[in-house]
Amino acid sequence: MNTKLLASIAIFALLAGVISTSAMQSAYAADYGTSDKAADAKKLADKKAADAKKLADKKAADAKKLADKKAADAKKLADKKAADAKKLADKKAADAKKDSGTGKATGKASSDAVTVEMEKGTATNTECGDKCFVPNNVQVKVGGTVTWKNADTAAHTATDSNGAFDSGMVMAKGSFKHKFDTAGTYNYLCIVHPWMKGTVTAS
């Protein structure tokens, strides 16, 4: 065989082997690179998903914490209102019991004995209104008595407008008592301080 031909065949075979090897290496590199990119993409996606879940969990926890705080605050406010209402009701009940025990009541229910105070400072307080004689409007049973006590430092009177009774001057810490034997409404005042007015209803 021709020596040149053999040499050419050998060179061709060598080149073919080199080309084949290079192609295989390129294909392997391409496959390897694609695999790495896919792994990186999956890793990134997993990280994003984990971060999103972590953020969602934090938001849910914060929302629950806020809701719990609002519920606790609302309960605390409701408990305070209930306690205040009970305290006020207890005070009113205690005051009513105290008044009924002393006869110094609101004047709405008839009683055998009622006490009315000439309040302190009424000699100079021209606007004391229904706080001059306390209680200002009382009811007593026929045959019952009303006692006026002077809690002021000045002298006062309890004088009926139609002359049914007149205490005269009641000095500081003094008192005056009148028995109501006849049913009716009695409007009275202090003749020294005429802005001081009150009413007794006997029934």
- Print pLDDT tens along the chain (203 aa): 566 666 566 666 566 555 555 555 555 555 555 677 888 888 888 888 888 888 888 888 888 888 888 888 888 888 888 888 787 777 666 655 544 444 444 445 567 899 999 999 999 999 999 999 999 999 999 999 999 999 999 999 999 999 999 999 999 999 999 999 999 999 999 999 999 999 999 99
One-letter-per-residue 3-state SS of the chain: CCHHHHHHHHHHHHHHHHHHHHHHHHHHHHHHHHHHHHHHHHHHHHHHHHHHHHHHHHHHHHHHHHHHHHHHHHHHHHHHHHHHHHHHHHHHHHHHHHHHHHCCCCCCCCEEEEEEEECCCCCCCCCCHHHCEECCEEEEEEEEEEEEEECCCCCECCEECCCCCECCCECCCCEEEEEECCCEEEEEECCCCCCCEEEEEEC
